Amino acid sequence: DKGAAVIYKIEKNPSSDEQATKIIKKGVKDFNFGRTLGEGSYSTVVAATDRQTLKEYAIKILDKRHIIKEKKVKYVNIEKNTLNRLGDHPGVVSLYYTFQDERSLFYVLDLAANGELLGVLKRLGSFDEECTRYYGGQILDALDYMHTKGIIHRDLKPENILLDEHMRIKLTDFGTAKILDQNEGESQDQARANSFVGTAEYVSPELLTDKAAYKSSDLWAFGCIIYQLLSGRPPFKASNEYQTFQKIVHLDYSFPLGFPAHARDLVSKLLVLDPKDRLTIEDIKKHEFFAGVEWGRAIWKANPPKLRPHR
């Protein structure tokens, strides 16, 4: 029927007389669509329940005509390639499959049932050190995974850092990611000539001055996020974008009184103008602030600490 597609997996040497196992890829008709979870610039993410399995998903709906009219085909392909490359990691929203009907493309994805990290931070005001260590550690582990896959996020911010039903981190929103092709991945990060600029408060200075994006640009954003979790506000914030950019390129920020010493040391070694002088992910994992954190899969098994504000 409309929107559903049937694909066959042909067994190489079929044991039984069954020539092929029939895998039904679902279509629009197979879901009950619920509330809108978020709006992208040319897409909407909607909660949806599989009517047969009752499993809940997030479905990203892209309007084909709008994408073509707005010349966004490139971004749609970058996002889909990124999602496919990122495969299955606890800290990244997974893409299960896609289908389309005459008007739209549909991506069936993980539902991050507890929404944006920004929402939780706004309600609490700030995070105490233990919460910042737990959520910061998961963000870093997910970033490490993305970077080893040769992908720079480029727009990391509390709005697209989501929380799943276990209150664990899920990174998302990869339409503006940069995929370093093979040879670049290994060598020192290449300056990537590009037109994209992320969200003002988290943009790195190199993107503003040389239009370059590196893996360490994501670590600049990570430094801004650690600062914001503990203090309740981003380090570079002015009344308009231009003023915010000025603060960034002049490294014009300060720590509020009572900002914890180890966190201050970590942030001050990430918010560094020259991307080559910034801590690497390996350095950060060894930093005093993350002392005691068990990296790797263990970090995704730990139970989330009770959410408490930083006094």
> Should residue 126 be labelled a site residue for ligand MP6 when binding is judged by CB under 6 A?
no
By CB under 6 A, the count of residues binding ligand MP6 is 22
> Should residue 162 be labelled a site residue for ligand MP6 when binding is judged by CB under 6 A?
yes
> Should residue 34 be labelled a site residue for ligand MP6 when binding is judged by CB under 6 A?
no
Alpha helices (H) in the chain, listed in sequence order: 64-69, 73-86, 117-124, 129-148, 182-186, 205-210, 215-231, 241-249, 261-268, 281-286
Per-residue DSSP letter, 1: -
Contacts of 228 (CB under 8 A, 6+ apart): 121, 158, 234, 235
> Should residue 98 be labelled a site residue for ligand MP6 when binding is judged by CB under 6 A?
no
> Should residue 174 be labelled a site residue for ligand MP6 when binding is judged by CB under 6 A?
yes
> Should residue 38 be labelled a site residue for ligand MP6 when binding is judged by CB under 6 A?
yes
For residue 162, the minimal CB distance to ligand MP6 (Å) is 5
Helix (H, G, I), strand (E, B) or coil at 38: strand
> Should residue 109 be labelled a site residue for ligand MP6 when binding is judged by CB under 6 A?
yes
Q: Closest CB to ligand MP6 among 120 and 212?
A: 120
- In angstroms, rounded to a whole number, what is the distance separating the alpha carbons of residues 107 and 80? 9
Question: What CA–CA distances, in Å, run from 19 to 6, 11, 26, 113?
Answer: 15, 7, 22, 40
The residue whose two tokens read 């003023």 is 243
Q: Closest CB to ligand MP6 among 36 and 148?
A: 36
Contacts of 255 (CB under 8 A, 6+ apart): 227, 231, 264, 267
> Should residue 112 be labelled a site residue for ligand MP6 when binding is judged by CB under 6 A?
yes
Name residue 22's amino acid.
Answer: K
Q: Is-catalytic flag, 155?
A: yes
For residue 40, the minimal CB distance to ligand MP6 (Å) is 4
Q: Closest CB to ligand MP6 among 27 and 115?
A: 115
Q: Return residues touching ligand MP6 (CB under 6 A).
A: 37-40, 45, 58, 60, 93, 107, 109-113, 115-116, 159-160, 162, 172-174
- By annotation, the residues acting in catalysis are 155
